[in-house]
Amino acid sequence: MPNPFAIIGRVFLSALAEIGRIATFTGHSLASIIVPPIYWRSILGQMWLIGYNSLPVVGLTALFTGAALAQQIFVGGSRFNAESVVPGVVVIAIVRELGPVLGGLMVAGRVSSAMAAELGTMRVTEQIDALVTLSTDPFKYLIAPRLIAATITLPVLVLVANIIGVLGGYIIGTGRLGLNPSTYLQVTSDFLEQSDVISSMVKAGVFGFIIALMGSYHGYNSSGGAQGVGKATTNAVVSAFITILLANLIITVIVFGGAS
Amino acid sequence: MSNQSNKMIALQNVHKKFGNKSVLNGVNLSVDRGKSLVIIGGSGSGKSVTLKCVLGLLQPDTGAIQVNGNETTTMSSRERKKTLASFGMLFQGAALFDSLPVWENVAFGLIQGKGLNKKDAKEIAVEKLRRVGLTPDVGELSPAELSGGMQKRVGLARAIAAEPEIIFFDEPTTGLDPIMADVINDLIVECVQDLGATTMTITHDMASARKIADNIAMLYQGKIIWDGPKSDIDQSNNEYVEQFIHGSAQGPIEMDVFRA
């Protein structure tokens, strides 16, 4: 019978080795972002793919979530005659948490997998080796544009998602729950603070970086043909999801942990 | 095989392991300036690893690799990039970039590596496409729209586009019908003669080896077991070489399938 401590030890060491490999990859990627050449055309292309193409899925997610949230808060609040808190709670929940987290997760599902699949296919068909033989650094040409584009684009996407999420709450709140439209907007505006928006944008930027990093890391290091690319795609999405949720917790504790 | 001053590529006692599996066990070989060396050997004999070690895509565990008199195993990334600029490479599956049209694939090294503007690079790319028997309109197609033979020809055009001093061919005829394989062999011979380049080819196609090579070396279990002029290969007095060139299942080379 295998020794359970040996199994735990092996898993722990293998996790440490993976963290080390990701850290090395991140360091190499950051260095390639800073040092020229910078491929602006690739960055713009990636911004289009990540931002514009993700807009429908992120927008719809935010709209439905904001609407459902308003309904739930109304039901919960009505137990204490506190239906008027709906706009305030909706805007804080959307801007601080649900906008960036759900937006990040939706984009991770779309973009991390696509990046891993594309880079993985390039790896197994020797296109990445071909880049090297053509005097082109794959980190600068492939990884850096994805990281820059995702880090810039996610905050914009999340900003739009936040607005649409609040709009979802407004539509349900005023159309179905009988809240006054002008009061709804006034309360939303009163509850929203600058720090909420800033933390939302910071989270989105970090999530964007994580999404591109995980997609690139797993795709770049994939091996073993079509099966390897499939595995890289799955690993990219799963690791992006977990890392986004962990990063969200850390940022939330740092930004709001001391708030009364 | 050659005197020291005339050597363009020289490998001395090169070893490479992957985990516990030893792939190269002290490879010694050299290629004279302007000459064509073909490395033959069965699957898993270490041909591709040898080529990737010379290209710098893999780092050998021990041993020395000199290109044009410069030791490549200890080069900085900047020096390596400079050395790579004098290389051309035709990959087994052509390794064309899916995201770029054919002409941009051919011109890639000129634009990214040598900093040529797109207009001039495109003119050269069209000329190189014509050199390998492809019309300019092929340049506007996507690599996915080409047949296997056309992809190989585009790969050859890309390999010669920057007029390199050294060209590597990785299984140039694998996956092609005999007629197209002969067309590719002829093109390789013509293009190499035009450029006066030094070439290193790995293949298990003896018809290709006989057509392309000045010298042939046979790799078996990570070691060069025979090398000499191609005219001597039929009188090698080496039972491994004889079994390989005759494609016989009987002989000292045992395939894994027989041990199962």
Q: What is the pLDDT of residues A33-53, one digit of tens each?
A: 988 888 998 999 999 999 998
Residue A17 lies in a domain: no
The b-or-e profile of B212-228 (16+ CB within 10 A means b, else e) is: bbbbbbbbbbbebbbbb
Domains of chain B (ranges; CATH) run: 2-86+164-259 (3.40.50.300), 90-163 (no CATH)
Residue A255 lies in a domain: no
Q: For residue A258, what is the DSSP state?
A: T
Query: Which residues lie across from B216 on neighbouring strands?
Result: B38, B228
For residues A214-243, average pLDDT: 92
Q: What average pLDDT does the structure give for chain A?
A: 91
pLDDT of residue B241: 87
Cβ of B91 within 8 Å of Cβ of A135? The answer is no
For residues A180-190, average pLDDT: 90
pLDDT of residue A210: 96
Residue A32 lies in a domain: no
What φ, ψ does residue A140 adopt, rounded to 5°?
Answer: -70, -40
Residue A213 lies in a domain: yes
- When scoring B49, B75, B90, B108 by the number of chain A Cβ atoms within 10 A, the one with the most, hence best to mutate, is B108
Closest CA to A102 of A32, A154, A178: A154
Q: How confident is the model at residue B255 (pLDDT cuts 50, 70, 90)?
A: low
Query: What pTM does this model have?
Result: 0.85
pLDDT (tens digit per residue) in B52-109: 999 888 999 999 999 988 898 888 878 888 888 888 899 988 899 998 999 999 999 8
Q: How many CB atoms lie within 10 A of CB A225?
A: 12
- When scoring B78, B97, B168 by the number of chain A Cβ atoms within 10 A, the one with the most, hence best to mutate, is B97
Determine the Cα–Cα distance for residues A147 and B132; give it in Å rounded to an integer: 38
pLDDT of residue A179: 87
Query: Which residues lie across from B15 on neighbouring strands?
Result: B25, B62
Whether the Cβ atoms of residue A232 and residue A219 lie closer than 8 Å to each other: yes
Nearest to B97 among A127, A132, A133 (CB): A127
Query: Which residues lie across from B36 on neighbouring strands?
Result: B199
For residues B104-124, average pLDDT: 89
Cβ of A129 within 8 Å of Cβ of B96? The answer is no
Cβ of B113 within 8 Å of Cβ of A141? The answer is no
Up-side HSE of residue A189: CA atoms within 13 Å toward CB? Answer: 6
Number of domains in chain A: 1
- The letter for the amino acid at B132 is V
Q: Which two tokens stand for residue B256?
A: 């894994």
Determine the Cα–Cα distance for residues A114 and A109; give it in Å rounded to an integer: 9
Residue A71 lies in a domain: yes
Q: Is the pLDDT of residue B7 over 50?
A: yes
pLDDT (tens digit per residue) in B217-245: 999 888 899 998 988 888 888 888 888 88
Whether the Cβ atoms of residue A242 and residue A211 lie closer than 8 Å to each other: no
Q: Which two tokens stand for residue A22?
A: 């990701």
Cβ of A127 within 8 Å of Cβ of B98? The answer is yes
pLDDT of residue B256: 60
Q: Is the pLDDT of residue B251 over 80?
A: no
Residue A59 lies in a domain: yes
For residues A130-136, average pLDDT: 89
Determine the Cα–Cα distance for residues A27 and A33; give it in Å rounded to an integer: 10
Q: Is the pLDDT of residue A230 over 80?
A: yes
Contact list in A for residue B113 (CB cut-off 8 A) is: 134-136
Determine the Cα–Cα distance for residues A63 and A155; give it in Å rounded to an integer: 17
Determine the Cα–Cα distance for residues A229 and A234; give it in Å rounded to an integer: 9
Determine the Cα–Cα distance for residues B184 and B162; give it in Å rounded to an integer: 19
Q: Is the pLDDT of residue A112 over 70?
A: yes
Whether the Cβ atoms of residue B7 and residue B33 lie closer than 8 Å to each other: yes
Of residues A35 and A144, more confidence is placed in: A144
Q: How confident is the model at residue A77 (pLDDT cuts 50, 70, 90)?
A: confident
Q: How confident is the model at residue A260 (pLDDT cuts 50, 70, 90)?
A: very low
| Residue whose tokens read 């780092």 | B59
Residue A120 lies in a domain: yes
User: Which domain range does residue A133 map to?
Assistant: 40-250
Closest CA of chain B from A129, distance in Å: 7
3-class SS of residue A222: coil
DSSP E strand boundaries for A106-167: none
Q: Is the pLDDT of residue A259 over 60?
A: no
Q: How many CB atoms lie within 10 A of CB B74?
A: 9
Residue A45 lies in a domain: yes
Q: Is the pLDDT of residue B6 over 90?
A: no
Determine the Cα–Cα distance for residues A37 and A214; give it in Å rounded to an integer: 23
Tell me if the bond preceding A36 is cis, omega within 30° of 0.
no
Q: Give the residue on B whose Cα is nearest the Cα of A137.
A: B81
